[in-house]
Chain A
C-alpha cells in the first residue's frame, strides 16, 4: 500500500488509513455526533466497506461473527454515550469467547470529558471489565500507534476485544501520518513456545496412559490448530471430546469423537472425562458448564495435562499436573515430533468401555412424534446442507440441540455465544459470517424468544442482500428457562411463556424477505430443501415445535459431570 509521508491528515482520516493498513475490508457501525468526522472520512474512500446495522449491539455481534468465521479481526464503529453502551453486550460476548475485535468508539471532545456533556459516558470505565484492553486517545499524534497496538493486542496471545475511544476533537485535529511498522510493549509479550521439559513430561504421561482422553475447546479453533489436533489424534487413536466452543476443532463425524461434553454433553463424553487416567486438555478452561462441580470431578484420580496460551486459565477451577503455556499449534507440533515412533499402551479395554457408554444412545428422541421435534429439524438441517453450512445460534435449548445434532467437521463453522450466553447473538453474527464468506450457506438457528432480541437486523440483511436462512424453533417458550422451571421449580413456568408472538412469516415479509410456517414433521425436509435452493434470499422458517421437549442429557447446576439426567425413555 502506498504510504503518504509528510502529509498531514485529520484524526478521522488517520483512523481510516489505519484500518486500510491493517487490511480491514469490512466495518460494522452506526453513525452519531461524536464520529461524524470518521464517517466523513469513510465516505471519501472505497477500500473499507461500512455496513450500517440497526442497533449497535448488532454491530458488535456482526463484527464478532465476521471474526469467528474468518480468523480476521472484527471491527466496529459506534458513537459516544448510548452508541457505546448499546455495544457493551456485544463486547462482553466477544470477551468471554476470546474473539479478536477492535471497537472504535466516539467520545465527546477532550475539553468536555468529565463535564457530563451530551452523549458522554465513561466508555473506558464501562468497558474495562469486558475488554482485553482499552485506550482513550487524547492526542491525535498518538492515534496511529494506538490503533497499531489495538490490533496487535487483539490478535496476539489469548485474543480478545480492544476498544479505542476517540474524542471528537482528536478526529478533527491534524498531524503527520505514518503507520508504525512494528509495535513493542515491555509490559505485553505473550509466550508462544511451550516449555520443552513440560512437553516431555506430558508426552511421557500420554505414553503411559491406559485410559487416555483428549478434551479440547475454543482455543483450538482460535489458534487454527485443527490440523495438528487431527494429526495427534490419528497418531494416538485416543478418544476426544469438544466443548461447545471447540466444536468443529475436530471432525464430529470421526469415530474417535465422543460428542460434546458438559451440561448437555453426551453420556460417553462425560463418563470418559470422569474415568480416564490421563486427560489432555487443550485450549479449554474446565468451566462450570463443562465439568460441573469441581469437587466431584476431583474424586476420580487422573493426571491432567493442560495446554493454554493464557496462564490464568490453568489451575483456575481444576488443579492440573502438567501445565504448558504456549500457542497450541506450536506445542502440538512438539508433541507430534516426540510421539512419532512412540509405542502407546493398548487401549482396547478402554474403547470397549466407551462403546458400552455409547450404547446408551443418549441423544435419542421420539422420531414418531406427530409434533415437530426440534432435534428432527436440526438433523434434517444437517442432511440438507450436507454438513457444510456456517451455523450461528442464539442461546437456549435450540443452541444445545444444534450443538448436539449438527455434526461440524470443520472449525469456524459453529458460531455461538458460549461464555456470556447472549440471546440476540445469532442473527447479527450470521450477518458478519455472510459478509466474511460471501456465497457460503449460512443458517441462523434460533428460537422465538432469542430472535426477537435483535430482530431489527432483518432490515440490515435486506439492505445488504444477505441470504441468511433463519431456522426458528418456535415452542412459544423461553425453552431452557421453561426446562429449568420444570426440573427445579415445580413446573411453575414463571414468565417463560411467550405470549403475543408476532406472525413471523408476515414479519419477515414486512422486512422484504420470505417466510414460511412449518407445523408438520413431514413438511420439515421439503421446506428446508426448498429454502436452501434459494441462494439469493433470506428465508425465515418458523417451525412450530414440541413445547414440552427438553434437552438431554443434563447435568443439573452444581452437580458432578456423571450425575446426568437422561431422557425419560432411557
Chain B
C-alpha cells in the first residue's frame, strides 16, 4: 500500500542523505521525496512517499525515528490528510493545437505560465492521480517535457506535526 510519511528533520548538512541512505541501505522503496525548510529555518520538513505493507512502513518509521537528526515522523496516511503535487508540463501548442490545449488546461484547472510560438508551459497542482490523469488525457506526442515536485502532505483539521 502507498503511504505518505512526513518527517521533521534538523536543517543540517547531510540530513537528507542520511535519510535517503537509510532507505537504500535497508531496501525500502522511495516513490518520491521532497524537502524544504519550514517557517523555523532550523528545521526542514520532508515528505516521502513509499509503497509497502503496514509492517514495512512501521519498520521505516522506526528506522527514521532512530536517526539522530530526525525530530518527528508521522505516517499521514494513517488518517485524513491532504496531498498536493506541482507539475510543470511543456506541451506542443502550434496554431492547430493551441485552442484545444488551452481548453484542456482549463478543464484540469491548470495555468499557462509561459507561451512561445509553438509551446505552452502549464502549471498544474493536485494529488498525484490528477497529474497522472492530465498526462494521460493529452496526446502523448504533444508532451515536450514534464517536471513534478513529488507529493507534499499535511494532516486535516487539528492534526498537526510540529515540535
Contact = CB atoms under 8 A, between A and B. Distances in A.
A153 B67 CA distance: 11
Nearest to B9: A187
A479 B145 CA distance: 59
B10 A187 contact: yes
A316 B21 CA distance: 19
A136 interface: yes
Contact of B25 (A129, A136, A311): A129
A125 B17 contact: yes
A132 interface: yes
Interface in A147-204: 153, 185-188
A71 interface: no
B59 interface: yes
Contacts of B18: 128
B113 to A, nearest CB: 36
Given A129-B25, A187-B10, A312 B71 contact: no
The binding surface of chain B is classed by DSSP as helix
The bracket for how many chain B residues form the interface is 20 to 34
Nearest to B65: A311
A103 to B, nearest CB: 15
Contacts of A316: 59
Nearest to B68: A133
A13 B66 CA distance: 33
Contacts of A185: 68
Given A124-B14, A316-B59, A187 B68 contact: yes
Contacts of B17: 125, 128
Interface string A28-63: 000000000000000000000000000000000000
B58 A315 contact: yes
A315 B54 CA distance: 12
A312 B59 contact: yes
Contacts of B63: 312
B13 interface: yes
B70 interface: yes
Contacts of A129: 21, 25
Contacts of B13: 136
A430 to B, nearest CB: 31
A452 B18 CA distance: 35
B83 interface: no
B69 A187 contact: yes
B103 interface: no
B81 interface: no
Contacts of B25: 129
B44 to A, nearest CB: 12
Nearest to A311: B62
Interface in B66-99: 66, 68-71
Interface residues of A, number: 19
A310 B66 contact: yes
Contacts of B147: none
Nearest to A312: B62
A187 B68 CA distance: 6
Q: Which of B14, B58, B68, B71 has the most CB of A within 10 A?
A: B68
Interface string A520-550: 0000000000000000000000000000000
A125 B66 CA distance: 18
B163 interface: yes
Q: Which of A185, A187, A314 has the most CB of B within 10 A?
A: A187
A188 B68 contact: yes
Contacts of B71: 186-187
A229 to B, nearest CB: 25
Nearest to A157: B66
A153 B68 contact: yes
A315 B58 CA distance: 9
B62 A186 contact: no
Nearest to B22: A129
Contacts of A132: 68
A186 B25 CA distance: 26
Contacts of A319: 55
A186 B59 contact: no
Interface in A310-343: 310-312, 314-316, 319
Contacts of B69: 133, 187
Contacts of A153: 68
Nearest to B69: A187
Contacts of B70: 187
A314 B71 CA distance: 20
B129 to A, nearest CB: 32
Contacts of B55: 315, 319
A186 B68 contact: no
B21 A128 contact: yes
Contacts of B59: 312, 316
A125 B9 CA distance: 18
A188 B10 CA distance: 11
A136 B21 CA distance: 18
B83 to A, nearest CB: 25
A125 B13 CA distance: 11
A388 B71 CA distance: 45
B23 to A, nearest CB: 12
Interface string A295-315: 000000000000000111011
16 contacts: A128-B21, A133-B69, A136-B13, A136-B14, A153-B68, A185-B68, A186-B163, A187-B9, A187-B68, A187-B69, A311-B65, A312-B59, A312-B62, A315-B55, A316-B59, A319-B55
Given A132-B68, A185-B68, A187-B70, 15 more contacts: A124-B14, A129-B25, A133-B69, A136-B13, A187-B9, A187-B10, A187-B68, A187-B69, A187-B71, A310-B66, A311-B65, A312-B59, A312-B62, A312-B66, A314-B62
Interface of A: 124-125, 128-129, 132-133, 136, 153, 185-188, 310-312, 314-316, 319
Interface of B: 9-10, 13-14, 17-18, 21, 25, 55, 58-59, 62-63, 65-66, 68-71, 163
